[in-house]
Amino acid sequence: MKQLALATLALLSASCTTFNPPPQAPKLVVAIAIDQFSSDLFAQYRPTYVAGLKRLSNAIVFSAGYQAHATTETCPGHATLLTGARPARSGIVANEWYDQSVTRGNGDHKVYCAEDEAQPNTTANRYVVSTRHLKVPTLGDRMKRADARSRVVAVAGKDRSAVMMGGHTTDAMWYPGLDNRSYVSLPGQSGATPAIVTEVNQRIARIIATPPAPMVPPHCAVLADSFSPQPGSDLAKAINPERPNPLRVYRTGPEYDRATADIAIGLLKDMRLGHGPATDLLAISFAGTDNVGHSFGTNGIEMCIQQAALDRIIGDVLAALDANDAAYMVVLTADHGGFDLPERLQQRGIADAARVAPEISATAISTALVSRFRLDIEPRRLWMAVSQQGDWYLSSKISGELRSQVLAATRTMLLSSPQVAAVATAEELGSMPLPQPPVDNWSLIERARASFDASRSGDLLVMLKQSISPIARPIAGYAVGHGTPWDHDRRVPMLFWYPGAVAHEAARSVETVDILPTLAAFVGLAVPAGEIDGRCIDLDPGRADTCRQ
Ligand code: ZN
């Protein structure tokens, strides 16, 4: 009898498809990404929030979720948020990769994650935006497949962020065009330009012509003189240029995220999101924090001003959602974290903080190899790499035994550098199974495996040591970078809010790929476990299991 009861129970749990509905099923799901919003930034500025980020900080908080993969860049990171898929599954292995079957007009093989390289006369820098590289459906795609009446809207400060959060069937996608001065829509998107987009674009033109002075809260003002780069250094020129570029001033000021928010709020009202017959999705990605991080680092007055402004902007988004009078739920997270200027980190006691050495660039190593192996190839065409960390691609013209020798020699040269932590080969990553959660103790090679797609990844994946900044020489707008397999780049907050949510905070090992199944459960969407990497997070453990039984 007991055996029968157990068997029945097992059968029930295996076949049951009902949900314990949350207190109020949402009519609108809102997913907010803050580009480069690390768990470190969240921890540092959390006590200063007074508006939207304060409200979400007092909801359901996972302060240090994981972007579990190695190549922590914007495109792969955004692609995890609403697909449940790590880069190995989504195919979005980096912002840019090399595809030697594609040759652009300039002889280059570089492809951008959110472009259609089959379009004529394009390059990875001058491209047609497309969703074609994303190999998996997003939450929006799944919602529309389940009920075509669902509307999906994505508004972002970067095209790749809108594409990766919105997905293949987005109704309205808006992001800055290639000139960065005006918001444009995905090619082929139907309908007239909404009035709010026209209004914001006109405002941007005025802001670039006459930048307004940012509001400096008192807790930021004290940081004004806390760090000065060496006068005349590359860093000094990068962060305090003699003639600031007005477009860059706009992109690193509060008005950048304000523009994204205003378009999202405008579309919320125009389209009456949350008031249709099916649940709608609004995805928003704010890029200002990333622009500030790259331009000035993460620990200066600039980031303090940015955090205060973004807090107010997100407060305005939440106020508009409240006024919209439709039940909504929010998740807020990030595509990756970030790291401060190595020069400032050194001043603050991290003695081994440094910039990556030029001797281990793809160009320098290729030059040495061309000479050593007497290769008949231009050095810049031997090893192709966007950055010193991440994927390195060996020319397909090098084949057979020579290819093995060049690969082995390159690996030895890289590993002899005190700045290199590990080098994984495509061969070893391709033969490994996908790593399984929990991700806390994943090795560097397992993190690299989660970034590996045999059809797009490099022949080598290079991982620098933790305190090494991947930017060799700072330039204006790009003084410091992210993209490493280390926790400062991998750990991001994951905040959930919905009406009746019981506030709690848990140091659980959750990942951004868990967001898709978690939201899907709320809107009653079945997502077969084999299709994704994430696992549903039970957001209401004390009352009802919000995940599928
Ligand atoms: Zn990013």
**149-202 pLDDT, tens per residue?**
999 999 999 999 999 999 999 999 999 999 999 999 999 998 899 999 999 999
pLDDT tens across 51-97, in order? 999 999 999 999 999 999 999 999 999 999 999 999 999 999 999 99
pLDDT at 242: 87
Candidates 136, 140, 144; CA nearest to 154 is 140
The structure tokens listed for 446 are 């397992």
Under DSSP, the state recorded for 331 is E
Ligand 1 centre and the CA of 146: distance in Å? 30
Is residue 543's pLDDT more than 90? no
pLDDT at 17: 36
Ligand 1 centre and the CA of 478: distance in Å? 13
Q: Give the strands of the sheet with 183-185, arranged side by side.
A: 183-185, 172-176, 152-156, 280-286, 28-34, 328-333, 491-497, 60-66, 504-505
Which protein residues have a CB closer than 5 Å to ligand 1 (ion)?
A: 35, 74, 290, 335
Is residue 343's pLDDT more than 90? yes
* The model scores a pTM over 0.75: yes
Ligand 1 centre and the CA of 548: distance in Å? 32
Task: Reply yes or no on whether 74 is catalytic.
Answer: yes
Find the range with the poorest average confidence among 2-16, 217-231, 336-350, 461-475.
2-16
Is residue 142's pLDDT more than 80? yes
pLDDT tens across 116-128, in order? 999 999 998 999 9
Find the range with the poorest average confidence among 23-27, 205-209, 330-334.
23-27
DSSP E strands, 250-358: 280-286, 328-333, 354-355
Ligand 1 centre and the CA of 150: distance in Å? 28
In 120-194, which residue ranges form alpha helices assigned H by DSSP?
139-146, 159-166
Catalytic-role residue among 72, 74, 170, 289? 74
d(CA 117, CA 128): 8
d(CA 495, CA 85): 19
The per-residue DSSP string of 102-121 comes to: ---TTS--EEETTB-TTSTT
Ligand 1 centre and the CA of 294: distance in Å? 10
Q: Within 13 Å, how many C-alpha atoms sit on residue 244's CB side?
A: 16
Ligand 1 centre and the CA of 256: distance in Å? 15
The 10 Å CB-count burial string (b at 16+, else e) for 366-391 is bbebbeeeebeeebebbbbbbbbbbb
pLDDT at 548: 61
Antiparallel, parallel or unpaired: β 172-176 and 183-185:
antiparallel
